[in-house]
Amino acid sequence: MTVQDEIHHMTVDEYLHVVRDLGWESTELVEGVVYDVTPEYNRHRATVMRVFRCVDAAVGGELTNVSGSVRLGGSSMFDPDVFVLDGTTPLAPDDAVPDAAVVLAIEVSVTTQSRDRGPKLIAYAKAGVPEVWLIDPRPEVGELVRHRDPDGASYRTIDRFVIGEDAADLDVATVLAR
């Protein structure tokens, strides 16, 4: 038996029942698999807030979010670090944000590189989220990888930007203009 054989994939509805019934906290459902969410330390927190402020200043209005769950199809539900809504899709007050409402999802990855660049990025692409930014704020990396134009389980257009430690040099206008 392989590890793959031991994994029970679940739907978002099954996941929501388990979370409610068992009181699970700090988990995400990615492509039908439940992952524990790692603690968020100061580098992650500070970078998320810097990115949120920069994106919010560029987008304006109440479209930029720093919290909330996004439902991606029937097998993924997680909380992007920052996300931007299209402003036209109706949102049910007692439900997660539907994938159709998200125009940009941003993941800040300090300790979750393999998950964010693997199954989470695949889930975003499959759900048709038009744009995903993966930010690595560590001093030796300091980059933003921009994924656009979803095509099945991947993205056709990928751009890299040096944004410095903790996204200190992030210029949203430059990223969006490219």
**Residue 26 within a domain:** no
Mean pLDDT, to the nearest integer, of 61-77?
90
Burial class (CB in 10 A: 0-12, 13-18, 19+), 103: middle
Is position 152 within any domain? Answer: yes
DSSP annotation string for the chain: --TGGG-----HHHHHHHHHHHT--SEEEETTEEEEPPP--HHHHHHHHHHHHHHHHHH-TT-EESS--EEETTTEEE--SEEEE-S-S---TTSPEEGGGEEEEEEE-SS-HHHIIIIIHHHHHHHT-SEEEEEE--TTT-EEEEEEEEETTEEEEEEEEE--GGGTT--HHHHHH-
For the stretch 1-11, pLDDT in tens is 454 556 677 78
Q: What is the domain-level CATH number for residue 112?
A: 3.90.1570.10
Indicate the number of domains in the chain.
1
Q: How far is residue 153's CA from residue 145's CA, in Å, rounded to a whole number? A: 17
Q: What is the mean pLDDT of residues 52-65?
A: 91
Res. 34: pLDDT tops 90: no
Average pLDDT for 106-116? 89
CA dist., res. 99 & res. 73, Å (int) = 7
The answer to whether residue 2 is domain-embedded is no
- How does pLDDT run across 112-171, given as a tens digit for each residue? 888 899 999 999 999 999 999 999 999 999 999 999 999 999 999 999 999 999 999 999
Residue 92 placed within a domain = yes
In a domain, 24, yes or no: no
Return d(Cα 150, Cα 18) in angstroms, integer: 31
- Per-residue pLDDT for 48 more than 80? yes
Residue 48: inside a domain, yes or no?
yes
Mean local confidence (pLDDT), 76-92? 93
- pLDDT tens digits, one per residue of 12-32: 777 776 767 776 667 767 777
pLDDT of 5 reads: 57
Domain extent for 120:
40-177
